[in-house]
Amino acid sequence: MRFPFRFTPLFIAIAATMATSAQAADDSPAAGFVEDSSLHLNARNYYMNRNRLQQADDNIEWGQGLLGVFESGFTEGAVGFGIDAHAMLGLKLDGGGGTDNSSILPVSDGNGKAPESFSTAGGTLKMRALDTELKAGDLFLANPVIAGGETRMLPQTFRGVSLTNHSIDGVMIEGGQASFTKPYNQSGHTRIGTSYGSLPEGKDSQHLNWAGVAWSSLPGLTSSLYAAELKDIWNQYYFDLDYTYALNDLISLNPGLHFYHTQDTGDALLGNIDNNTYSLHFTVGVGHHSVTAAYQRVNGNTPFDYISQGDSIFLDNSQQYSDFNGPNERSWKLKYAYDFAGLGLPGVTSAVSYSRGELDLTQVDPDSPGYAAFYNADGKHAKHWERDIDLKYVVQSGKAKDLALHLQWATNRGGNGYGALDQDTDEYRVIVDYPINVF
């Protein structure tokens, strides 16, 4: 299935104009540039041990990240102006001697040792009129088609413009364009790449455009619709629907759907792409317990792909290590979660899950400029499974309030030709976050 629509910045402008025309008449003015200002700090200590069983060396890195984010309010008047700014610093505590490249620290320069530190800073100019906000500069983004990676020591950011509108209760309309990204383990900016495709030497996408609407007007029901163009690579479309129904004070039911369609566009730098990927989940919550069953399907001879280092894969079977998004992959997952508040231990949560997938790698085009590495003549029924264990504690009160300790363990094993894509891996993560609200 292919869609004739070609995503352009004009679509963003149209969406913005439509949103602005629906402005609410009783919009409340901002308190002020200084009065609404805030400064948040976060110290994140991150240890990752990625043990690849088929090779001698592990990927082991340990670092300390520091992030400060300042957000001003808006000047008074019909049109308000403001600024945001952030600074990041990453310090190497351990990593090197052949154990680098776990993705916590910058990739080494060939000597097997990551640099002792890396840093970056950025700023954003913003303008607000009624219920519409325009930003230009370095952006923190989080939506199904362009979401900065938050799962490492420091976050990923994007350089571009964004527009957000909240004129209608329960509806958020947004759009924008990003030309560069600051990866989570680097100091400088690069063009936006992809997680699974290999771009030809010297070729890059110049920007990513996006627009979307998120809706939450009815109790328990949410939905969103997004479209994006990664120039000369793909057009991507997303839809989701999620509903939570409380049978009573104890039991709740939560069905949900995520759907992506991706097709090549422009110069098609990664080759032909025609991919429909969806996941379905159903969760039953009973008190402090919940059980989730999920099914995920990739219909296409390329993997479901998304921007490099990003978290813009809103699929149920995207796990700690594997996304279960290979060419023609079918996968299922069972997950059990428990909130220890039920035992008088508020702030302690846990989850354990098991996922299993089967791929057909024989249908991949061996001459594809972007995805030829996925072809395997022996991978008709390539299989892999993953077991994930997650334990987290957040301090509830006192001077250390909101300090969080997060322990994660993933085991991934493959067979029937899956080894051509990846190795059997055990991965351990220990993450300590200490957020501070300065003002």
The per-residue pLDDT for 247 is 95
The per-residue pLDDT for 23 is 41
Rounded-to-integer distance, Cα 48 and Cα 268, Å: 35
Does residue 270 lie within any of the structural domains? yes
Does residue 4 lie within any of the structural domains? no
State pTM to two decimals: 0.90
Rounded-to-integer distance, Cα 351 and Cα 292, Å: 11
Rounded-to-integer distance, Cα 295 and Cα 110, Å: 41
The residue ranges of the chain whose pLDDT is under 70 are 1-31, 56-57, 96-101, 108-112
Does residue 364 lie within any of the structural domains? yes
The per-residue pLDDT for 15 is 44
| Alpha carbon of residue 248 to chain centroid | 33
Question: By three-state DSSP, how is residue 157 classified?
Answer: strand
Element of type H or E holding 159: strand 157-165
Does residue 291 lie within any of the structural domains? yes
Rounded-to-integer distance, Cα 108 and Cα 104, Å: 11
Question: By three-state DSSP, how is residue 2 classified?
Answer: coil
State which amino acid sits at residue 391.
Answer: L
H and E: helices and strands count for the chain: 1, 19
Its domain, for residue 304, covers 9-437
Per-residue CA distances from 318 to 142, 161, 303, 311, 313 (Å) = 16, 28, 13, 10, 7
Rounded-to-integer distance, Cα 176 and Cα 162, Å: 4
The per-residue pLDDT for 423 is 87
Query: How many structural domains are present in the chain?
Result: 1
The per-residue pLDDT for 112 is 62
Strands 348-359 and 382-394: antiparallel
Rounded-to-integer distance, Cα 149 and Cα 372, Å: 26
Question: pLDDT tens digits, residue range 80-109?
Answer: 999 999 999 999 998 766 666 678 898 766
State which amino acid sits at residue 237.
Answer: Y
Which two three-digit tokens encode residue 26?
Answer: 């009783």
Q: How far apart are the first and last CA of the chain?
A: 51
Going by C-beta distance under 8 Å and a sequence separation of 6 or more, which residues neighbour residue 366? 372, 375
| Alpha carbon of residue 350 to chain centroid | 21
Which two three-digit tokens encode residue 191?
Answer: 């063009």
| Alpha carbon of residue 385 to chain centroid | 22
Does residue 280 lie within any of the structural domains? yes
Does residue 238 lie within any of the structural domains? yes
Does residue 354 lie within any of the structural domains? yes
Which two three-digit tokens encode residue 80?
Answer: 């308000």
Cβ burial 267-306 (10 Å sphere, 16+ → b, else e): eebbbbbebbbbbbbebebeeeebebebebbbbbbbbbbb
State which amino acid sits at residue 286.
Answer: V
Does residue 34 lie within any of the structural domains? yes
CATH number at residue 402: 2.40.160.10
Question: pLDDT tens digits, residue range 124-176?
Answer: 999 999 899 999 999 999 999 999 989 999 999 999 999 999 999 999 999 99
The per-residue pLDDT for 18 is 41
